[in-house]
């Protein structure tokens, strides 16, 4: 049994290709998480502000994104963007775009949750000191909110990583696609190929996500006061 | 065709959800009671389910298992996969509910002579579910969304039909139908749970 | 009362420790039928732990507990059956927040004892009436004050028709103005001849309600006495010091 595994992972560039696939998976998640944080923070601050227009429209946006499966969004942007607006984006760009749209919504909600959980007198004492709105957010609110935020952000990261297999559907050679190709090629000679290859990527995902979720749990406990 | 596909998605999601709730509840329960070996196993299962993508779980079930002699048809794979994933998430949702019940509530139940099952049925369960409901809702919606990958195990669900239409060049029509179908499936679920949460909250906490 | 020789509860050489700390270091105590016994002592002396051992909420290390002559510390004890005969009221009420008052009370009689619901309701209503909560049967716990909650908790335990009632610092969480209403209920129960074992910090109440005072310190019963004798002239130095602290607090309270 073990022979078949050794055969698969030593044959040709199989192992190297799996790592290339993993690199694409991680690249998409990293880019999307980074952009989501960047865009999600201002969006979240707007959501928790008194500006009605922003509050309502961002809430609608969030609800829509929450309800739509990511896969549907990928299809929407990959296939309809080109035909309706005549914009042709590479698949990787589309996937980063879609993950960012989703991540921004989730991030904004996390920020809103963290900000609204802060006691009201924080704002009042900040204003009493004569801080401008920007200064107030930058020096008073954000530093405190970050602590309440971080476990959620880390959680969002693992969710992103676990959702990246969806890019398989728009033909990006990510970890899953590579795995499938390897199984297709070697599966004829080696009937156990699918067990080994899918088993291995199962544990690759686990090996990446589990430590991250442990870290998030650790932070949550450490900051619980 | 779309109707049929939507129905398939709904029925798979339904059974997957029911099984997830059952698995999740029992995993959380054995961990709550700290049953020696079983609690440990449940813990490992929860981590595996929560830290791996559904798609890989499905690939393994559908393409991997037949090679070692266990042939599952697509429909079964889909439900088993969703239940495997969802069980882990639901267990975490229920855990939150269980941990909200104080030791002294349980002692109060014991002191009027409730036996273990009665304690679970009349004291622990109603309170745990009420506390866990928001998390259960979020998980349920997440799971319904995850059903969108079922086409990889050759099931003619919504995404599968949409892909077919794409191949024939009906990009926008198919995408529009896709968006509408999922809205129609998930929005009622979301609203239903929202109402349920309000009712449960009204029925008496905030003590 | 001493004039009634029937023994309800008999504790012999009870020892209990948490990890390596001994909390109860050999307790011997007998409670007679219709007798009201009040246990007082500094915090951490083991008085609450003693109560919790009596209905099996804490496992004991060694010793024996007999309830009406039945040994309840033997292995394989059916605790559910024992607990039906021992009512317990907790410091933080511990009503079930998802059930209204009447359902809180009925859970034991109907589900555990299997009594007909209608009969149990009549019983519960008459108890609620006696503690002044007749019109609160359909309220939820969150709609009640602390004093009301504690009175419901007492009724919940009483409706099981227990042979002895344990009260574990039942006024310690209450706002001062609600302490009285709960103590009044307990005083009436004592007059009615209920067998009670009470842990409390309310010295005036202890004096008024008790047939006998047990003073505990550091896991031992240090002194057993009639209330008047105990409060006027304690036999031991430790009891004297303990009472002094309370007298001082009493003075402070009056000055404030």
Predicted confidence (pLDDT) per residue in C166-182, tens digit:
999 999 989 888 999 99
Quote the pLDDT of residue C3: 45
Q: Find the closest chain C residue to B201 by CA distance.
A: C98
Contacts of residue B111 in chain C, CB cutoff 8 Å? 55, 57, 83, 86-88, 90, 157
Give per-residue pLDDT as tens, C98-127: 999 999 999 999 999 999 999 999 999 999
Q: Provide the domain count of chain C.
A: 1
In this structure, are strands C220-225 and C212-217 parallel, antiparallel, or unpaired?
antiparallel
Please give, rounded to a whole number of angstroms, the shortest distance from the CA of B30 to a CA of chain A: 21
Q: Would you say residue C155 lies in a domain?
A: no
Task: Give the sheet arrangement for strand C7-18, strand by strand.
Answer: C21-32, C7-18, C62-67, C70-71
C205: Cβ contacts below 8 Å, ≥ 6 apart: C171, C183, C186, C187
Q: How confident is the model at residue B177 (pLDDT cuts 50, 70, 90)?
A: confident
B112-147, pLDDT tens digit by residue?
999 989 999 999 999 999 889 989 998 999 999 999
C62-67/C7-18 β-pairing = antiparallel
Which among B105, B126, B130 has CB closest to C94? B105
Residue in C52, C98, C113, C168 to test binding to B, most B beta-carbons within 10 Å = C98
Tally of domains in chain B: 1
Q: For all residues of chain A together, what is the average pLDDT?
A: 86
* Between A22 and A146, the higher pLDDT residue: A22
Residue B35 sits in a domain whose CATH number is 1.10.3720.10
Q: Name every chain B residue with its beta carbon within 8 A of the beta carbon of C100.
A: 204
The kind and range of the H/E element at B131 are helix B125-146
Segment C45-64 shows an average pLDDT of 92
Using the predicted structure, report yes or no on whether residue B202 has a pLDDT greater than 70: no
Judge B/C contact: 3 or more CB pairs < 8 A: yes
Q: Is residue B136 part of a domain?
A: yes
The predicted pLDDT at position A170 comes to: 87
What's the distance, CA C166 to chain centroid?
Answer: 3
DSSP A170: G
With cut-offs at 50, 70 and 90, classify the pLDDT of residue C5.
low
Gyration radius of chain C over CA positions: 18
- Mean pLDDT, chain C, rounded, equals 91
Inform me whether the C-beta atom of residue A71 falls under 8 Å from chain B C-beta atoms: yes
Q: Do B182 and A71 touch (CB under 8 A)?
A: no
pTM for the structure as a whole: 0.83
pLDDT in tens, A37-52: 999 988 988 888 888 8
**Cα nearest neighbour of B106 on chain C:** C94
Cβ distance B175 to A158 less than 8 Å, yes or no, reads no
> Looking at chain A, which residue has its C-alpha nearest residue B151?
A169
Say if residues A102 and A69 touch (Cβ distance below 8 Å).
Answer: no
CATH number at residue C217: 3.40.50.300
Inter-chain CB proximity B114 and C112 less than 8 Å: yes
The reply to whether B184 falls in a domain is: yes
Q: For residue B153, what are the domain limits?
A: 2-202
pLDDT band, very low/low/confident/very high, at B165 (cuts 50, 70, 90):
confident
Query: B204 pLDDT exceeds 60?
Result: no
**Nearest Cα to Cα of residue A91 among A77, A107, A72, A108:** A77
Q: Which residues of A touch B52 (CB under 8 A)?
A: 162, 202, 205-206, 209
Chain C hits for B113, Cβ within 8 Å: 80-81, 83-84, 108, 112-113, 160
**What pLDDT was estimated at residue A225?**
57
**Given this model, what pLDDT does residue C255 score?**
66
Is B59 within 8 Å of A180 when comparing Cβ atoms? Answer: yes
C80:B115 CB<8 A:
yes
The per-residue pLDDT for A123 is 80
Lowest mean pLDDT among B170-174, C21-25, C48-52, C199-203: B170-174
Q: Is the pLDDT of residue C1 over 80?
A: no
Domain range spanning residue A182?
A: 2-222
Tell me which residue has tokens 């049925």: B121
- In chain C, the percentage of residues whose pLDDT exceeds 70 is 95
Close Cβ partners of C139 (under 8 Å, ≥ 6 residues apart): C100, C101
ipTM field? 0.86
Reported as a pLDDT band with limits 50, 70 and 90, residue C162 is very high
Neighboring chains of A (3 or more beta-carbon pairs < 8 A): B
Average pLDDT of chain B? Answer: 87
Whether C94 and B122 lie within 8 Å, measured CB to CB: no
Report pLDDT for A116.
Answer: 83
Coil, strand, or helix at residue A59? helix
* CA of B196 vs chain C CAs: smallest distance (Å): 15
Residue B207 lies in a domain: no
Instruction: Give Cβ neighbours of residue A39 (< 8 Å, ≥ 6 apart).
Output: A100, A104, A107
Number of neighbouring beta carbons within 10 Å of residue B154: 14
Lowest mean pLDDT among A88-92, B65-69, B72-76, C237-241: B65-69
Residues of A in contact with B162 (CB under 8 A): 75
Domain total in chain A: 1
Per-residue pLDDT band at C75 (split at 50, 70, 90) = confident
Instruction: Give the model's confidence band at A126: pLDDT under 50 very low, under 70 low, under 90 confident, else very high.
Output: confident
Q: How many CB pairs under 8 A join A and B?
A: 108
């Amino acid at each position: 049994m073990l022979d078949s595994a050794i055969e698969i992972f030593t044959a040709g560039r199989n192992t190297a290709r799996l790592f290339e696939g993993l690199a694409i998976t991680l690249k998409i998640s990293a880019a999307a998480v980074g952009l989501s944080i960047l865009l999600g923070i201002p969006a979240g601050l707007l959501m928790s502000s008194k500006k009605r227009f922003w509050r309502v429209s961002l809430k609608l946006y969030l609800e829509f994104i929450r309800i739509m499966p990511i896969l549907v969004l990928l299809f929407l942007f990959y296939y309809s963007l080109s035909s309706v607006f005549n914009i042709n984006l590479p698949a990787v760009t589309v996937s980063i775009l879609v993950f960012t749209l989703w991540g921004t919504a989730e991030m904004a909600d996390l920020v809103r949750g963290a900000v609204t959980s802060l006691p009201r007198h924080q704002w009042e004492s900040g204003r009493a000191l004569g801080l401008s709105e920007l200064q107030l957010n930058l020096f008073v609110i954000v530093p405190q909110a970050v602590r309440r935020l971080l476990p959620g952000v880390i959680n969002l990261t693992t969710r992103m990583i676990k959702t990246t297999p969806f890019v398989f559907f728009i033909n990006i050679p990510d970890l899953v696609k590579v795995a499938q190709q390897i199984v297709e090629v070697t599966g004829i000679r080696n009937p156990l190929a699918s067990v080994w290859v899918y088993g291995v990527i199962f544990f690759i995902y686990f090996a990446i996500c589990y430590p991250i979720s442990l870290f998030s749990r650790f932070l949550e406990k450490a900051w619980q006061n | 065709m779309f109707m049929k596909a939507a129905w398939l998605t709904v029925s798979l999601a339904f059974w997957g959800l029911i099984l997830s709730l059952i698995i999740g509840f029992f995993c959380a329960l054995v961990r709550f009671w700290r049953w020696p070996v079983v609690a440990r196993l449940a813990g490992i299962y929860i981590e595996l389910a929560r830290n791996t993508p559904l798609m890989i779980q499905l690939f393994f079930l559908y393409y991997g298992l037949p090679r070692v002699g266990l042939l599952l048809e697509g429909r079964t794979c889909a439900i088993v996969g969703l239940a495997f994933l969802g069980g882990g998430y639901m267990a975490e949702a229920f855990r939150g509910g269980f941990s909200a019940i104080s030791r002294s509530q349980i002692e109060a139940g014991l002191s009027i002579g409730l036996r273990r099952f009665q304690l679970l049925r009349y004291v622990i369960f109603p309170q745990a579910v009420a506390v866990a409901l928001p998390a259960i809702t979020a998980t349920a919606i997440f799971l319904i969304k995850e059903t969108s990958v079922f086409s990889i195990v050759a099931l003619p669900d919504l995404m599968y039909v949409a892909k077919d239409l794409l191949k024939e060049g009906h990009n926008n029509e198919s995408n529009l139908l896709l968006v509408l179908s999922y809205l129609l499936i998930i929005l009622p679920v979301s609203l239903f749970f929202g109402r349920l949460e309000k009712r449960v909250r009204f029925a008496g906490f905030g003590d | 009362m001493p004039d009634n020789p029937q023994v309800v509860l008999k504790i012999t050489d009870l020892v209990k420790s948490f990890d390596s700390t001994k909390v109860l270091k050999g307790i011997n105590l007998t409670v007679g039928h219709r007798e009201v016994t009040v246990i007082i002592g500094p915090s951490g002396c083991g008085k609450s732990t003693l109560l919790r051992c009596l209905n099996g909420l804490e496992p004991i290390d060694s010793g024996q507990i007999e309830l009406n002559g039945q040994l309840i510390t033997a292995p394989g004890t059916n605790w559910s059956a024992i607990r039906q005969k021992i009512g317990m009221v907790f410091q933080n009420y511990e009503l079930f927040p998802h059930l209204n008052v009447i359902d809180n009370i009925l859970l034991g009689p109907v589900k555990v004892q299997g009594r007909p619901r209608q009969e149990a309701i009549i019983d519960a209503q008459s108890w609620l009436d006696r503690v002044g909560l007749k019109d609160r049967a359909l309220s939820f716990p969150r709609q009640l004050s602390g004093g009301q909650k504690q009175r419901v908790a007492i009724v919940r335990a009483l409706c099981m028709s227990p042979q002895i009632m344990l009260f574990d610092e039942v006024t310690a969480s209450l706002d001062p103005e609600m302490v009285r209403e709960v103590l009044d209920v307990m005083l009436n129960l004592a007059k009615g001849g209920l067998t009670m074992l009470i842990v409390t910090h309310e010295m005036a109440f202890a004096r008024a309600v008790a047939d006998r005072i047990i003073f505990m310190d550091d896991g031992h019963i240090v002194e057993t006495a009639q209330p008047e004798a105990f409060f006027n002239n304690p036999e031991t130095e430790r009891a004297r010091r303990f009472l002094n602290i309370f007298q001082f607090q009493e003075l402070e309270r009056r000055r404030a």
